[in-house]
Structure 1
Amino acid sequence: MTNSTTDMSAHPLNVTAVIGSNRHGRFGPVVADWLLDRVRDRPDLALDVVDVAGTDLPTDLAPTPEATAALSSITPKLAAADAFVVVTPEYNHSFPAGLKNLIDWHFTEWRAKPVALVSYGGLAGGLRAVEHLRQVFAELHATTVRDTVSFHNAGSAFDADGRLKDATGPNAAAKTMLDQLTWWGRALREARERRPYGE
Structure 2
Amino acid sequence: MKFTKSKLGNLADFTTGILLPRIKDPIDEKPSQRMIYNPLSRSVRYIHGDSELPLITTDQIGISMLQREAYLVEKKAFVDEQILTANFTAVTLDSRVKQSYFVWWFNHSIEAQRQLEALGQLGRRVILKDLREMTISIPNLSLQHDIGELYVLSQKRSIALKRKADLTEEQALQFIRQHMMEEG
Is TM (by shorter chain) over 0.5? Answer: no
Greater relative contact order, per chain length (Cα 8 Å cut-off, separation 6+)? 2
Higher helix share: 1
TM-score (norm 1): 0.30
